[in-house]
Chains A and B, each alone.
Chain A
Amino acid sequence: MRSAVKEAHFGHTTLPDEQAQALRKAVKFEWITVGFLAISTTIVFLVLGNSQVMKAAWIEDLLSFLPPISFLVAVHFIKRPPSIRHPYGYHRATGIAHLVAAVALSVMGAYLILDSGLGLLKAEHPTIGAVTLFGQTFWLGWLMMAAMALTAVPPVYLGLVKMKLARSLHDKVLYADADMNKADWMTAAAAGVGVAGIGMGLWWADAVAALIISVSILRDGIKNLRSAVGALADARAMTYDDADTHPLTGDIDRYLSGLPWVSEARSRTRDEGHVFHIESFVVPKKKAATLQQLEDAREGCIELDWKVQDMVIVPVAQLPDEFLPGPTSGGEED
């Protein structure tokens, strides 16, 4: 790790220290995740055996590579400043990465449901025999449970760290990846429980445990998928976890409306991944605004939040309804 805080950029936005640090930390943790996954996929592959859940846990581990890799690729691109070919910058790389991560999560959930559901329907009895290690012959199930216990712990920690970073960076890829880590440790736990159940002579324990977990994974996947597609399709900006409308649009409208020369102001905001592109329409009181006033207003908005990156203020005689549907600005409608 480099200790000196270097300036970090998203396009031509210079990140505040908090976000710059969060970004560096996120990159570090995504590399740790990739390293951990490489180890855990190897371990699980070696003890796969005949258990459906173990197989599912392994395929799921493979899918878990997608979110961190897509994050790292996206980070590589979003640093670039806007160019002639990309006048809006490369921020959408984040949206694409989020989509990839969300698809990975959904596929994993759906696969697990099908796989364990079919296993239950066909009443497949998972067969786990012996393994000989260091001259000892013992039940392979013990080794599987040990492998699952080992691979379940790190994702808990990784997920918690990423969840925090996702909030600070407003990064939905990290958020989806934190969900993936949650899915990881939950399937690992379920697989361990499933194998333990097989040991009890409950052939269905394996499949039932996987089925329960897979429903919640699919739900997370679909939630992320909707959010990723929404952001790419220019839906209004939401918070990093899509729980709420992002407050920034409302803040900007209030700030602009509060300026002495402005009678009315409304904005529309696109989430470009980390930063927002904002078009604000202002109605000046005296039907005119000086360039200095407009420039100052823009500076003021940019100071509100680091995410205000690409902002256009348009003085208008009256607010254009066709661009600003809904009764109020921000998220207060409905």
Chain B
Amino acid sequence: MFKHRPACIAVMAILLLMLSACSHYPADPDKTLEKVTDGTIRVGVTENQKWVQLEDGTEPQGIEPDLLRDFASQLNADVEWHQGSEHELVQDLKHDELDVVIGGIAGNTPWTTHAGLSRPYVETKDERGTTVQHVMLVPLGENAFLLRLDKFLQAQEVRP
């Protein structure tokens, strides 16, 4: 059982390394939560019925922009809106140019390899009677920010 001593030692070393840096847990590799707190949340929006409504000259309206405004005020942050197609927004998310992407995105979105998903915060039925779970997209691996968003979303009573 102790034939793999080098492997065990290596694992122990990693464990110690991690214990030694235990202030924020979980933490973001790219510090998204730190950057947006008391700062600016960059939100990608794409139009989608009642979820996100865009009109020239005004701020985005709808269920999800409202949620994001509340979330931002919790973090004492301003919101910066960026409009684009889902594809463009996901690319921006990947390249650290956005913090959240909204647009009535469903839990079974094919973007999972490029973006992290929040937990579904509300369920609706589409015209075929299939249940749709609504999520938001966040940068991959920014777990502290994601957890903060998840906690906020789970605490909301969303009525579509």
Residues of A bordering B, CB below 8 Å:
50, 124-132, 137, 139, 141, 156, 159-160, 163, 182, 186, 189-190, 193, 196-203, 205, 208-209, 212-213, 215-216
Contacts and interface: CB of A to CB of B under 8 A. Distances in A.
Contacts of B112: 50
Interface string B97-118: 0000000000000001000111
B27 A199 contact: yes
Contacts, number: 107
A130 B146 contact: yes
Nearest to B27: A201
Interface residues of B, number: 36
Nearest to A215: B7
A212 B139 CA distance: 27
A74 to B, nearest CB: 24
A198 B144 CA distance: 10
B11 A128 contact: no
Chain A contact residues: helix, strand, loop or mixed: helix
A213 B141 contact: no
**What are the 7 closest A-B residue pairs judged by CB atoms, nearest first?**
A125-B141, A201-B27, A130-B150, A127-B116, A199-B26, A125-B140, A137-B154
Given A127-B117, A201-B26, A141 B7 contact: no
A198 B26 contact: yes
A308 B151 CA distance: 68
B22 to A, nearest CB: 7
A197 B18 contact: yes
A213 B9 CA distance: 11
A188 B45 CA distance: 40
A186 B21 CA distance: 24
A137 B151 contact: yes
26 contacts: A125-B140, A125-B141, A125-B142, A129-B116, A129-B117, A130-B151, A130-B154, A131-B119, A139-B147, A141-B143, A189-B11, A196-B18, A198-B26, A198-B141, A198-B143, A199-B18, A200-B21, A200-B22, A201-B144, A202-B17, A202-B29, A209-B14, A212-B7, A212-B10, A213-B11, A216-B3
Contacts of A215: 7
B97 to A, nearest CB: 16
Contact of A203 (B14, B21, B24, B29): B29
**Residue among B17, B138, B143, B155 facing the most chain A CB atoms (10 A cut-off):** B143
A129 B4 contact: no
B7 A213 contact: yes
**Residue among A50, A141, A182, A190 facing the most chain B CB atoms (10 A cut-off):** A50
Given A127-B116, A130-B119, A202-B18, A186 B7 contact: yes
A207 B151 CA distance: 27
Interface in B16-74: 17-18, 21-22, 24-29
Nearest to A181: B1
Nearest to A185: B1
**Residue among B25, B119, B141 facing the most chain A CB atoms (10 A cut-off):** B141
A193 B7 contact: no
Nearest to B152: A137
Given A159-B1, A160-B1, A201 B28 contact: yes
A127 B11 contact: no
**Residue among A127, A128, A131, A212 facing the most chain B CB atoms (10 A cut-off):** A127
Contacts of A212: 7, 10-11
B53 to A, nearest CB: 27
Contacts of B138: 127
B4 A186 contact: yes
Given A156-B1, A182-B4, 11 more contacts: A125-B29, A125-B141, A129-B116, A129-B119, A137-B150, A182-B1, A193-B11, A202-B18, A205-B14, A209-B11, A213-B7
A209 to B, nearest CB: 6
B146 to A, nearest CB: 5
Contact of A196 (B1, B15, B117, B154): B15
Contacts of B14: 193, 197, 205, 208-209
